[in-house]
Structures are given as structure tokens and as C-alpha cells.
């Protein structure tokens, strides 16, 4: 049996504690730091960092903290070191100064979807006609005629008749144009029976769904013209799915032509040296290319 000449601590805790209580945790904090330095944290993903912090680091002081009340300075120092691990980037080992790609995407999506939400008219007391979206899409303060707007007209309730059961049509037509006014008159009034509430305009139930949001954003990008009927006809054709997809890609000009790639990738050449074309565009690939013209002729299409 070995003989211990100096028994200062037991399980990394000192047997005697003086006035400076932080010194009692010095060995434990040193082990904490050594364990951090022994790992290459820059190679860990966020999932790996979470496991490293919760399973390894936070388990080290478990016994010590179950016996003694740790000083705030010790806790703050350990928390600071764990924060540095979590917020350190993989590439340069520096703390993250910019928002993550996920949060940047959420922020951008929030701004894009903002116009899709608005107030459904209830008692008309919560809706500011100068600032809020309400009733239907594009009905907001920008559609008001500021030259005839009075100071006391701020809420939707101010646009109602005296009995508060119908719209003040004459006043609404003065504040909005005739077209917008006719759409406002189609909005039902509940008087004092219900409160105003925020809804998603593009779902009959008023609830937000990813599917309706995606469809709305696509329509905003494409426009709301007659080409919508064209695409409905295309998707209903009884043909192979790959033809549907190819037609859709042609219609949106997203085929990987050199001209398209050059607009995205810096330094990429858009010319097509095989047929001495100045640029490989969608029209060249499907019509002007000699091979494409041959195929079109065989299929019964004229060269012109």
C-alpha cells in the first residue's frame, strides 16, 4: 500500500478551503481548460460541439458542484469558455460576427411574406388604415388618397356608416379609387361581434401553410397574367413527366446553357466554339443549332 505524504485534495477538491474559494476550484478549472485544448474544435459540426459541451465538459464539474456552491467567477469563466467553443467558426477559429445562413434565410423569408399577411375586419378598432394591410392583398396606406384624409380617420371603424352595420360608400370612394372601393364593399362587417385578427390572405381558412406561401411567391415572381392558364394546360397533358419538367425549365429559361451559366459563374465563357456561335443561348440550343434544326425538320417543323 502506498503512502501519501501530502493529502491536499480528494476527487479534485481540496480538503481545506481558505478565504479565497476560487482557489478550491483551480484544479477543476484547469482540467476543464485542458480538455478543451485537447480537442480540435474547428473540425466539429454544431452537432459535435453540442455533444462535446453537454457530455464531456459539463460532466467534469458535476461532483464538485454537488458538494460546494461554486463562486460566480468560476461559473462565468466556464460559461465563457463553452460559449467560445459554440460560436467559433470552422475556418478561422474566430467568433461568428454575422448571423448564420439559417437565420439570414428566415429573416429574408419574413420580409418576403410580410405582404401576404393582413387584418381580417372584425370590430375595426385594431386596424390602422394608414399603416396596416387589411381586407385583402394590396389594401394598405399606399392606396389611400392623402389629400382628402382627415386627422380623425385612422381606424377601419371610421369608414363605417353611423349605424356601424355598413360601409360609408361615399367616403370610401373618396379615400380610395372606385375599383378598390368596390372590393372593400364586399368585405363583411361583424360590428362588435368579433375582434380584428391577423390572417394569411392566400388560404381560404386564413391559416398560413408552406404550400400556399410557395405558390404565392412563385405567382408573384411569374406574374398573374394569362400565362397561368397556359401552364395549367401543360401540366394536364397526358405525357411523360420528364417532358412536363423540360417544358417548365424551357419556359423559365433555367436550362444549363453557357449564356445562363456565365451570368451566374464569374469567368465562365458563354460562347459556343463547336458551331462558332457568339453565345450558347436557349434559342440557339433549341432552334439555331444545326443539330436542333435537323431534328425539327424531321419532326415536321419548317426550318424558319
Task: Give the per-residue pLDDT at 119.
Answer: 92
Task: Give the per-residue pLDDT at 1.
Answer: 60
Task: Give the per-residue pLDDT at 100.
Answer: 56
Does residue 101 register a pLDDT over 60? no
Does residue 120 register a pLDDT over 80? yes
* Cα distance between residue 287 and residue 184, in whole Å: 49
Task: Give the per-residue pLDDT at 199.
Answer: 92
For the stretch 126-171, pLDDT in tens is: 899 998 999 888 888 888 888 888 888 889 888 888 776 788 888 8
Least confident of 110-119, 141-150, 153-162, 279-288: 279-288
- Residue with the bigger pLDDT between 226 and 58: it is 58
Sequence spans of domains, the chain: 9-86, 115-200, 210-298
Instruction: Estimate to the nearest angstrom the gap between the alpha carbon of 141 and the chain centroid.
Output: 26
C-alpha cell of 290? 444545326
- Residue with the bigger pLDDT between 63 and 149: it is 149
Instruction: Estimate to the nearest angstrom the gap between the alpha carbon of 131 and the chain centroid.
Output: 24
* Mean pLDDT on 64-73: 76
Task: Give the per-residue pLDDT at 17.
Answer: 65
- Residue with the bigger pLDDT between 70 and 40: it is 70
**One-letter-per-residue 3-state SS of 3-46:** CCCCCCEECCEECCCCCCHHHHHHHHHHHHHHHHHCCCHHHCCH
172-179 long-range Cβ contacts below 8 angstroms, 24+ apart: 174/145, 174/148, 175/144, 175/145, 175/148, 175/149, 176/143, 176/144, 176/145, 177/143
Task: Give the per-residue pLDDT at 7.
Answer: 56
Q: Rounded mean pLDDT of the chain?
A: 78
Amino acid at each position: 500500500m502506498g503512502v501519501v505524504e501530502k493529502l491536499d485534495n480528494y476527487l479534485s477538491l481540496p480538503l481545506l478551503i481558505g478565504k479565497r474559494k476560487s482557489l478550491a476550484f483551480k484544479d477543476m478549472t484547469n482540467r476543464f481548460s485542458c480538455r478543451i485544448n485537447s480537442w480540435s474544435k474547428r473540425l466539429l459540426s454544431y452537432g459535435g460541439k453540442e455533444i462535446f459541451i453537454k457530455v464531456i465538459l459539463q460532466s467534469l464539474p458535476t461532483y464538485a458542484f454537488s458538494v460546494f456552491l461554486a463562486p460566480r467567477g468560476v461559473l462565468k469563466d466556464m460559461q465563457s469558455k463553452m460559449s467560445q467553443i459554440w460560436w467559433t467558426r470552422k475556418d478561422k477559429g474566430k467568433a461568428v460576427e454575422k448571423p448564420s445562413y439559417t437565420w439570414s434565410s428566415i429573416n429574408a423569408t419574413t420580409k418576403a411574406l410580410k405582404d401576404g399577411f393582413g387584418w381580417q375586419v372584425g370590430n375595426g378598432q385594431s386596424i390602422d388604415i394608414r399603416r396596416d394591410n387589411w381586407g385583402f392583398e394590396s389594401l394598405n396606406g399606399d392606396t389611400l388618397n392623402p389629400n382628402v384624409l382627415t386627422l380623425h380617420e385612422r381606424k377601419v371603424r371610421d369608414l363605417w356608416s353611423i349605424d356601424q352595420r355598413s360601409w360609408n360608400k361615399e367616403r370610401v370612394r373618396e379615400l380610395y379609387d372606385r375599383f378598390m372601393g368596390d372590393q372593400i364593399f364586399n368585405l363583411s362587417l361583424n360590428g362588435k361581434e368579433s375582434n380584428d385578427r391577423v390572417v394569411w390572405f392566400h388560404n381560404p381558412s386564413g391559416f398560413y401553410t408552406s404550400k400556399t406561401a410557395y405558390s404565392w411567391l412563385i405567382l408573384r415572381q411569374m406574374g398573374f397574367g394569362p400565362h397561368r392558364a397556359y401552364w395549367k394546360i401543360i401540366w394536364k397533358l397526358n405525357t411523360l413527366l420528364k417532358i412536363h419538367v423540360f417544358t417548365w425549365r424551357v419556359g423559365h429559361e433555367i436550362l444549363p446553357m453557357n449564356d445562363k451559366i456565365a451570368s451566374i459563374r464569374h469567368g465562365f465563357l458563354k460562347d459556343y466554339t463547336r458551331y462558332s456561335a457568339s453565345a450558347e443561348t436557349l434559342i440557339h440550343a433549341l432552334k439555331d443549332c444545326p443539330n436542333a434544326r435537323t431534328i425539327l425538320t424531321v419532326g415536321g417543323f419548317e426550318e424558319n
